[in-house]
Amino acid sequence: MKYKIIRGFHDILPGQIERWHFIENTARQVFESYGFNELRIPVLESTDIYCTGIGDTTDIVEKEMYSFDDRDGSSLTLRPEGTAGVVRSFIENSFYKKTPVSKFYYMGPMFRHERPQKGRYRGFNQIGCEYFGSQSAAADAEIILMLWYFFQKIGFTDSVKIEINSIGDEESRENYKTALVNYLTPLKEGLCDQCNRKLGTNPLRILDCKNESCREITVNAPKITDYLSEASGVHFNKLIQILDDLSVPYNVNDKIVRGLDYYTETVFEFTTDKLGSQNAIAAGGRYNNLVEKMGGPPTPATGFALGLERIVLLHEQLSDKEFKFPTDVYIAWIGEDTFIPAMKIATELRNNGKSVYIEHESKSIKSQLKRANKLDAGYTLIIGEEELKSGRIIVRNMKKSSEESIGIEDTGSLLSYIN
Ligand code: ATP
Ligand code: MG
């Protein structure tokens, strides 16, 4: 084969896309019911947006970005995540002047140069929400609750766990970093090379290293929740209180620190034990400093992103719901003179929202009915010379194997029969 798709990328084919539509449409419906409106941002932004927005010492910026020079020499990057671009747009469009809070969702492709494996790709899709302008733990609670209901709605009742943690404000993190580095330094021989580097640059990230020996060492490390400042402690307790009061099940997991620099206070992940090591299907948290860091006014914010590929994989495992492209009506026509009348009926039905299949080559009735069966059409209509003469057609309900004779121009009766 001469042309092949790039490694780590994938086509989503008819037959698969119906499941994607179901998940995407449910997300739209649930997120909009919580007051989030869609914001579409470009796939390409200037590279510095991501360096500032995500942080220079993160995996994404260090080694995963698809960056290249534009024709004028300026550096561009294919978006590796959505938050930095949404914040850029929030500031550029002065949303902070328009309404006290702003709530956006986005969906679409992301690009990261990772080692491809099941549930991890170089081109993948996320849906994310960002909520600007509320300082309150209630805002964190509500987006966690919203995600929880979204997962219930697509049928992930027993397969998803909520893991929450707090990484506190700057004061909490500075105190904690010192304690963590003090604990890890004498044990650093046992840490992987990457974690040894992180000890000097971003020690919190050592806690979410996937390496077994690093994990063993961090099991007994000091817990960040013991180092929270008073304000951060109050914030975290309020979140927990609300989740308890609303009976949302969660686990406090002190190893969740998230890979991106911008998080403050609340961090969380939605995980599953059914996808092997790619176990996070959604992740997020609060990022109170990012808007200001990117040049806007100080604005508290909270949000998350979910990974659609992993959700689709899990959905395939859990749901026996059948997804197929629907054909409501198949119109069979026999003889050249019947084609135009058949097309007229097809147009009427399509204008009324029905999906209609009609051949454009003259075919035998046998082969047309075979096709109707293959498409699993709900109804079949047959127009031959006889029907044209009598002005009546036979409409067959394929599921019930019943039929009805209807006037060829009586669209009203036809629609009420097939509805
Ligand atoms: P991981 O620890 O698995 O690398 P991450 O912390 O890099 O995840 P985020 O940047 O928080 O992930 O992205 C949110 C979600 O997007 C993840 O929980 C995951 O479901 C999905 N995701 C991230 N990277 C990929 C990828 N390369 N391929 C498919 N899905 C991904
Ligand atoms: Mg990653």
Does position 259 have pLDDT exceeding 90, yes or no?
A: no
Quote the ligand 2 centre to 280 CA distance (angstroms). Answer: 10
pLDDT of the residue at 67: 98
Q: Which is the closest atom of ligand 1 to the Cα of 284? A: 11
- Greatest Cα pair distance in the chain: 94
Sequence-distant (≥ 6) Cβ neighbours of residue 83 within 8 angstroms? 53, 128, 130, 260, 262, 287, 290, 303, 305
Q: Which ligand is nearest to the CA of 84?
A: 1
Does position 320 have pLDDT exceeding 80, yes or no?
A: yes
Does position 99 have pLDDT exceeding 80, yes or no?
A: yes
Helix (H) or strand (E) holding 303: strand 301-307
Q: Positive or negative CA dihedral for 91, 97, 98, 100? A: positive
Structure tokens at 263: 């998080």
Does position 166 have pLDDT exceeding 90, yes or no?
A: yes
pTM of the model: 0.93
pLDDT of the residue at 406: 95
**Phi/psi class of residue 295: alpha, beta or left (left: φ > 0; alpha: ψ in -120 to 50)?**
left
Does position 282 have pLDDT exceeding 90, yes or no?
A: yes
Are 206 and 214 a contacting pair, CB within 8 Å? Answer: yes
Topology agreement, domain 17-169+229-318 and domain 329-418: no
Which residue's CA is minimally distant from atom 29 of ligand 1?
A: 120
Does position 409 have pLDDT exceeding 80, yes or no?
A: yes
Amino acid at 57: T
**Test site for ligand 1: of 277, 309, 314, 315, most ligand atoms within 8 A of the Cβ:** 309
pLDDT of the residue at 202: 86
| Secondary-structure percent of the chain, ordered helix, strand, coil, rounded to 5 | 45, 20, 35
Q: Which ligand is nearest to the CA of 306?
A: 1
Q: What is the pLDDT of residues 231-245, one digit of tens each?
A: 999 999 999 999 999
Structure tokens at 172: 């909490």
pLDDT of the residue at 58: 87
Does position 169 have pLDDT exceeding 80, yes or no?
A: yes
Sequence-distant (≥ 6) Cβ neighbours of residue 133 within 8 angstroms? 96, 99, 100, 101, 102, 299, 300, 301
Q: What is the pLDDT of residues 5-57, one digit of tens each?
A: 999 999 999 999 999 999 999 999 999 999 999 999 999 999 999 999 998 88
Ligand 1, residues at Cβ distance < 6 Å: 81, 112, 114, 120-121, 124, 126, 259, 278, 280-283, 305, 307, 309-310
Q: What is the pLDDT of residues 337-396, one digit of tens each?
A: 999 999 999 999 999 999 999 999 999 999 999 999 999 999 999 999 999 999 999 999
List the chain domain ranges: 17-169+229-318, 329-418
CATH of 329-418, one of 3.40.50.300, 3.40.50.800, 3.40.190.80, 3.40.50.1370: 3.40.50.800
Mean pLDDT of 253-280: 91
Half-sphere exposure (Cβ direction) of 129: Cα atoms closer than 13 Å: 27
Q: Which ligand is nearest to the CA of 54?
A: 1
Question: Mean of the per-residue pLDDT values for the chain?
Answer: 95
Answer yes or no: CATH 1.10.3330.10 is held by domain 17-169+229-318. Answer: no
